[in-house]
Amino acid sequence: MRIGILETGDVHEALIGEHGDYPSMFEKLLRPHAPDADIFSVPVVRNVALPDPGDADGWVVTGSRHGVYDDLPWIEPLKQFLRDCVARKIPIAGICFGHQILAEALGGRAEKSPKGWGLGVQRYKLENVPSWMGEDIDAFGGYALHQDQVTALPPSATRIASSDFCENAALVYGDPEHPDAISVQSHPEFSAKYIDDVIDVRLKDSVVEPVRSRAKSSLGDPVSNDEWGGWIVKFLKLAAQA
């Protein structure tokens, strides 16, 4: 299997030495579940030409500090690329910004939420759970790092997870049992230490102290990173067999 990572953001230069870049985080997430996969990255954020959708068996869209509404030269081409993938039945998994731009590309809406920052470990309730995700799970924990949210679902999307803070926390597109795409607002590729360092390095002047403190105190709570790594790979393999 050949998995392409569409890199839509950069790790802060002060953190990359310890934590790596986004493609390396995703490889660490996916490799235990796809040991023989050819995993490569495309630095979309640096405005490189997008490949043909068929150059991978499936694509993963990373998070980003940018918004889907930003006037950047690579945003609209990426939306078209995602539409082309869906039209050609090439599966996509979107994470955070990837979750939002997939919704925008396919007819929904993402925007800055009046609820403010989702930060730290959050708990999401699962609903409409496809059988390929398993039957013994009704919720999951995930690392949140976002202000934007999906506020309107595309016609082809089904919500599979939500919280009081984030109504559309995870989506599947098309037939939930054989989806064209899946996406999640939280970050299964992140670690507690990375979130802690982001709060100290990037957010100390832009997020009020009570929100930072609550986020830091949540970082010992359980998360379902490995489960999401398995679900993403299972989804990609399921699509490849279709």
Is 75 inside a domain boundary?
yes
Specify whether 96 is catalytic: yes
Is 232 inside a domain boundary?
yes
| Pairwise CA distance, residues 101 & 124, whole Å | 20
Is 121 inside a domain boundary?
no
Is 206 inside a domain boundary?
no
Specify whether 189 is catalytic: yes
Phi, psi of 109, rounded to the nearest 5 degrees = -145, 140
Give the total number of structural domains in the chain: 1
Q: CB-based contacts of 196: which residues, under 8 Å, 6+ apart? A: 216, 219
Q: Residue 18: what pLDDT?
A: 97
Residue holding tokens 């049992």?
177
Is 218 inside a domain boundary?
no
| Pairwise CA distance, residues 192 & 238, whole Å | 30
| Pairwise CA distance, residues 77 & 187, whole Å | 24
Is 66 inside a domain boundary?
yes
Residues of the chain with pLDDT under 70: 242
Task: Identify the CATH number of the domain in which residue 79 sits.
Answer: 3.40.50.880
Tens-place pLDDT, residues 77-136? 999 999 999 999 999 999 999 999 999 999 999 999 999 999 999 999 999 999 999 878
Cβ neighbour number for residue 220 with a 10 Å cutoff: 8
Is 207 inside a domain boundary?
no
**CA dihedral for 105, 74, 15, 117, sign (positive or negative):** negative
State the residue range of the domain holding 6: 2-112+148-190+224-241
Is 178 inside a domain boundary?
yes
CB 59 within 8 A of CB 1: no
Annotated catalytic residue, options 27, 96, 104, 146: 96
